Each structure stands twice: as structure tokens, then as C-alpha cells.
Amino acid sequence: MDMKKNYKQSKTLWGSKVRKELNEFAKSYTYSFPFDYKLYEEDIGQSIAHVQMLEKGKLIKHKEKKKFLNVLKNLKKEISQQIKLNKFKTNKDYEDIHTYIEKKVTEQLGDVIGTKLHTARSRNDQVSADTRLYIRKNGVGVAGLLTELIHTIHNLAEKHKYIIMPAYTHMQLAKPVYFRDYIRAYSEMFKRDMLRIENCLGRLNFCPLGSGAVGGTHYRTINRKFIAKELEFSDYIKNTVDAVSDRDFVLEYLFVLSMIMMHISRLSEDFVMWSSPQFKFITIDESFMTGSSILPQKNNPDVCELARGKTGRVYGNLMGFLTVMKGLPMSYNRDMQEDKEALFDSNDTVITTLKVYIELLKKLKITDRNKENMMNAIKVSKGFANAPRYVDYLVEKGYSLRNAYEFVSRLVHYCTLNDLDFDKLEDSHIDEFINNESKIDRKSIKYLRQYSKKSGIRNFIKTGLRACSFNNYLRTGSRKRHTTLGNSAVSDVNKQLTQERKEIRNIFKQIQHTYSTRLP
């Protein structure tokens, strides 16, 4: 067979082995250039470090290195400008971003020099390095947005630090809490997300370059430590099989992004409820609401609902790529290409969601009407929101916790049967309850006599109910002492907010200092 007759120059990196032109359907099915072009900065950055290493290893000449550096830096500017102007074309002539860059370099430098760029490198270790650098860059960016989101939450908490609202468990009223403590619970969630990012970046910050297709290269003069240092990795990956097989770092980052969206989704759920006519605890700015095409009375919290919905999309990316990886043999397989779309989509979704939520929170309002609705939601509970405090009161007087709980439970049951307010019981109601109690539990009456001392059982119960009433809590002096109503007493909140802000700044500074790098 005449080999020259069947040979055709290909724009793929493997074209000299496969003689036939790739089927058009196969081409569109396998080519990743339409989405992996997003790695152009990382690919050019590591190529710059790579040619510097090649020169040190005497695999290219100094003059060739200078030409490579000049072309690569200009190509980076050119691509960046084209993307900004929306003129960058990902045509089918190029299989992926790696092929595009190498071919563009070769077009300018010619075959003799340009084709040396891929010396001692495979796309297997190349794409792993690109993806690690991409996650490192974007992880720092996401941490920065989380920092801004948390500071926005802290500002909201400080602005409304005296507002009292109902807290729910199982969607039933549990007890009154401060709004500032409720909303700051989300800042704690997002803080943990920042710490997860820091840990994730720490585990992925190792350089796979020099691993080749698998098992390393035969070039003795390459310096893996040098290129790892140039790209500001912590070190190079020792096992060259693992270096090209591993996608744990992608999965871990997808998990971190999923956790962020889960927390956003829970916040969205609260905001959807709180802004509804049935609650009216908060007022979302109309610039973040939409109307109905047929129901003129509607203001729909579409931003919150979409954020809640997009959480499932980010979960899907994680679960999809977990499924891809579960049955793959060592080492590199083309299935791994599926990580890119999942990674890019989840990363972009989280970034846009965080940005819109920062703006939404900045414009969130709690009006006087909202405050009144929060108070009314507590009051319509017929005083049962005070029952937990009454248990604590009895324990403080000497009751065991279980005995106090059982006693208050029976008192709540009595009020429920007779449609009475827990903190508005009259003497006749208390007397009736005591008579019933003596028939049900004589030990309870014995306890009451023991702890009521000279005041009498009725007065002992009345005094406790009055001390634990919501109206008594609202008095300033009493409120300052109620550290267990929320997470902190009123007098401590400013100090806590200052400490929390400082902690968040320090976490971000550490992430930024360690992982925010400029590529060559």
C-alpha cells in the first residue's frame, strides 16, 4: 500500500496514526473545543512554564524559547480580546484548546520549532494541570464572593439586631429568637464553605506535569520541581499513574459548589416563605421580583425560586461525574472529558447565584409592618412559645429537667383542651389544673408544694408564668439577661459581629495569599 497516498495532514494531535479523516458525526461528538476553550489562560500559562523547563533541560535552544514566549503571550492577549468582543470562534478545525494553541504557535513559528512545544508532555498530564489551575483560580474567586455575601449578612444582622421573630422546628413555632441570630446562622454555613474551599485547594495544588501519558517520560533532563514551582503548585505529584488518573479534585470542588448551593437554597426557601402574604416577615426589593402574566396581584420571588431550582442542576453535575468515574480503569480514559461541562456549568452557576444574592441582601428590607407580623406570629401561638422558658424556669427552681418538662407538657395540654392562652391563665384555671394534676400525678403536687414554700402552689405557678411571659421578655432589662433566647445577649452582639467579621477576613486572606497566583 502506498502510505503517502493515504496520508493527509490533520489538525488533530493524533492524526498521523489514524489515516482516515474523522467522521463528521464522530468529530462533533468527541471534540471539546466549544467548551474547553475556557482553559486557554491556564493552557498558555503552563505552556510558558513548560518551554522554560525545556530550555533548562537543553531540549530547546534559548532563541527558540524566546520565540515561544513571545508567540504564546501574544496569543493569550489575542484570545482574551476576541472573547471580550464575542468574536472568538471555536470551529471544528480544532479538537480542543490544547490543539488550537499548539497549532497556532506552529503556524507562526513553523514546523521545525513549533512542533517542539509538546516535547515531554501529553494531553493527559496537560489537561490535568489546566483543570487544577482553573479550579484554583475560580476557587479563590468563589471564596471572595462568599466573603462579600457573609459581610452583607452581618450588615443586615447589625441593622436589625433588636428585631424578634419566631423560630420554627418541623414548621411549627418553637420559640422567639433574634432575627440577627437567625440570619447569622447562614453566615456560619457560608463560612464552612470557605473552609471547604481552602481544604479543597490544598489537596489539588500539586503539579501533574512530567507524568506524560502515564508513568512518566523518558527525558532525563526535565525538571518536574521547576515547573511545579513556576506554576506555584505546592509540589509535583509523585505517582505518575495517579497524576493522569485522578479527578478527585474535580469531584471535591463540585461537592463544595453543591454545598454552597444547598445553603443558598435553604436561604431561598426561607425568603420565599417569609416574603409571602401568609408571613410577610421581610420585603424583597421589587427589582428582584416578577409579576404574573394573568394574576395582577402577584409579586413572585423568582430569583429565590430559581436559585433553589438551580441547586438541583449543580447536584446533577456532581452526581453525573461521580457516575462517570465509578467504573473507569486506570489510567486516563476519554470519559474524563465529561468533567469539563459539569465543572464549568457548576462554577458559573454558583458565581452568578452568589452575585445576585449579594445584591438582593443589600436591598432587603424589614419594615415596621414586617416587624409587627413577626410579633403577631409569636403572639398567635397562645403563649406556647414561652413553654420552653417555663421548663427552664422550673429547673432553675430545683426541678429535674424531665419532671419540669412533663409538668409543663400537661399544662400545655390543659390549655389546648380548653382553648386557653398559656401565659394568660386566671386563678380559676390554675386551680382546676391543680385539681386535675393531683389526680394524675401526686408526685407533681408534692414537688409544687416543696418548691412553692409559703407562696402557695397557685402563686408559684402564676409567678413562673408571668416571669416567662413574652411581654416580660420584651422589657429591656429582662431581654438583656435572656442569653438563651438567641445565641447572644443584646449587649454582646456588637462584639460578636466584630469578631466574626475579622474571622472571615482572615480566612479569605489566607486563601488569597496561598492560592491566588498569576500565571506566567
Residues acting as catalytic residues: 170, 292
Report the alpha-carbon distance of residue 250 to residue 257 in Å, rounded. 11
Report the alpha-carbon distance of residue 106 to residue 104 in Å, rounded. 5
DSSP string of 109-149?
HHHHHHTTTTTT--HHHHHHHHHHHHHHHHHHHHHHHHHHH
What region, left, alpha or beta, does residue 328 occupy, with left being phi > 0 and alpha being psi -120 to 50 degrees?
Answer: beta
Cell 503517502 found at: 4
Distances in Å between the Cα of 69 and the Cα atoms of 44, 48, 49, 74, 270 are 10, 6, 9, 9, 53
3-state secondary structure of 222: coil
Report the alpha-carbon distance of residue 235 to residue 224 in Å, rounded. 9
Q: Cell for 392?
A: 427552664
Report the alpha-carbon distance of residue 493 to residue 422 in Å, rounded. 30
> Up-side HSE of residue 285: CA atoms within 13 Å toward CB?
12
Q: Cell for 97?
A: 484548546
Number of helices and strands in the chain (H, E): 22, 4
Please name the residues in contact with 476: beta carbons below 8 A apart, sequence gap of 6 or more. Answer: none
Contact 141, 351 (CB under 8 A): yes
Report the alpha-carbon distance of residue 331 to residue 215 in Å, rounded. 10
Contact 386, 423 (CB under 8 A): yes
| β-strand partners of 206 | 235
Which of 396, 401, 399, 392 is CA-nearest to residue 446?
399
DSSP string of 360-392?
HHHT-B--HHHHHHHHHHHHTTTTGGGHHHHHH
